[in-house]
Structure 1
Amino acid sequence: MEQLSAVAGKCAAASVWVLSDDDLVDYLDTIDRAMQTLTAAQLHLIREIDGRGLPVARHCSSTAVWLRERQRTSVHAAKRMVDLARSLGERPALDSALAAGAVNAEQATVIATTIRDLPAGLGPDLVGEAEAVLIDQAEQFEPAILRKAGERILSHVAPEIADARDAAALRRQEARAWQTRAFQLTRLGDGRVRVTGWLDEAGAATVDAALDPLCAPRHDNDEPRTPGQRRADALVEVCGLATRTGELPDNGGQPPHVVVTVPFDVLRRRLGAGTLDTGGRLSHTEVRRLACDAQIIPAVLGGDGQILDVGRARRLVTGSLRRALELRDRGCAFPGCDRPPRWCDGHHIRSWADGGSTSLDNSVLLCGHHHRLIHAGQWTVRLGDDGLPEFTAPAHVDPRRRSRRNLYHQRT
């Protein structure tokens, strides 16, 4: 040890400016190999100290903590050294490669980790082959690239096992992607709606295939839209195309559509704003533009809020009556319910079987849960003097049996 320290001291004190270019490089390589050899010796000592339990005997909680205090290194670096020392004890070939300077400590850590993570039951021959391949590759690859090579080492030594493992991993990945798929439209209250979500690979490929043809920039040089804006426009256009095909399933008993509530002044004097059935507000300019679209159904309100016209005036539950119900009730009319119109059924206040008419003044929007509750017969519903639904609870819920209304759907 004294000779080693003395030689190292002479190397550190030697003048290097007198060396030729080739000697500079050769000496650097020689010292690097010597450092790896010394690192191997250092790790042998650490492994023996760890095996004897000296740190614990000296009242340290672990070998890594003892090493941190002894050599004034970080606990993370100390833990890496202890882990590598233990790994070298189990991998003689890797230990010899480090002692010979064929790999450095970082590369040895990558190789040891890769070998440790190989599937159980692979067999010592295949494990040894994988170790030998990685030691050979360490001659040309730095640790990060060697780590990537390690991720593919199973394909090199046992391709059939690698294929089965990859297939199982892919199935787990696909199952997780399918289970966690989601799509949300979040209204921010400033005229914008945030689109967020997750898709699995197959679903994303379908969306890409539909959007890509519509995302291309204009052929002229005057394309003001960013790529993100083009994708947003493409999404809206694809949905518009879908609603015009007539092949989408009915929603609430009628084809999918967009309803814009238009105060009469918006059409006559171009004042105020329109309201979508989603609750969003539109300027009079946007309302008039949408009114030209056959898939946009304008609903015109008089000055007192009375519905003057709803698209094509046909007295069918699945036609204009349904749209009038959506405009009046704004969703499930049951007190406290927040279900939107498209999740609701049209309910006859007086049963059609009992002679009740299919009309606006005999209908109310109810979600499935509250529709069943009303049919159970304990709650009752009627229209108030202003034409809006009122509900009365059974006596055990409200002994005073006061009329209640849904205050969730704010009227504009």
Structure 2
Amino acid sequence: MVEELALAEDVVAACTTAAAWALTEPDLITALDAAHRIEQRLAAIKLTLVRELDGRGTATVQGASSTAVWLRDRLHLGVGAARRLVELAAALDIAPPRVRDALAGGAVDVEQVRVIADTVATVHTTAGPEAADKAVGVLVDWAAQFDATLLRRLGTRILDHVAPEIADAAAEAALRVAESRAARDRHVTVSEHSDGRLRLSGILDAEAAAVLRAAIGPLTAPSGPDDNRTPGQRRHDALADVCRLALRTGDLPENGGDPTQVVVTTTYDGLTRQLGTGALDTGLHLSAQTVRRLACDAAILPAVLNGAGQPLDVGRQRRLVTGPLRRALVLRDRGCAFPGCDRPAHWCDAHHIQHWTNGGPTSLANAVLLCGYHHRHLHHSDWTVELGNDGHPQFTPPAWLDPERLPRRNHYHRRT
């Protein structure tokens, strides 16, 4: 074997310097197919060698704590990849001959072998050895048509083909086990960074995952041709929009349902002059620009503080676009008024055209509906907005985008 592998290595090495550009397209495809088959055959040989080394205890003889650790150092693998290699070698060792032959012949790849081994083991436990033998043939045939991901998905219904008499009952039992596991494993972890950002991680059960997808899915599409956010950034903004909507509903317990649940403290002069920062009730600070944007659709509660910063008198909120005024704004704009945006009205903030901090009134003539993304965009870009002669908002793009700076309107929402 050593001599044969040395010869194969020389042949493969010669191919690495061959000029692929000189091949015709049919020859390129043929060469690709051949390279893939060789890769799978080499994988079969590699797994056989790993299994033999593991069985002999070579790793411990050479001072390693396990075969996976020894492979990590020997082949410069990650410990996870090395462990999976040992596990797959063991699975292939007890796999039916047809599976080993399929890998050695290049008909399947190592990931498909992993799926086949897992599925056959499940069938053996559920329906017995005869059904497991049938499953091997079905799965190897499927592997010639489907990749490992789809093969695993199809494998969940393998009993329909090899043991139909128990398939429904087994599927129901597996579903109950999966739901129990999902209920046990469900969690969300919120880790706070020192700068106020949060890192979210966790596992949602199937129902919660479907709800999340339904809630943020319509909001994750690009909002227009100038939307250069990454998919991850769009999902971030969609989740924030969903939370804002929940705050507006008034249905949350205790202090829920009002945008002022996010408390920002700043000075009047700092807000009007865009100079001072704002402090969250968590102690973290926001830039003056961010405070100004949040103030567009938030309650302002003036407070008189003593020299030690203790509140002596807190007034009532003012200039919030709400009630009849917001209803009139929704009737006029029907949704985000930014050109090309399809966000509905209930996802939108009320933006003061002339900022309230600059003396702008809280009125229909000085307000426009904007979704969260375009509200931020308007505050951080050179776009401007005004009402046209017909009383509907129109937006003027920056000169770099349109040198003529022709006003644009949102034609997505039907006007009446």
Name whichever structure is richer in helix by fraction: 2
Please indicate the TM-score interval, normalised by the length of the shorter structure. Answer: 0.3 to 0.5
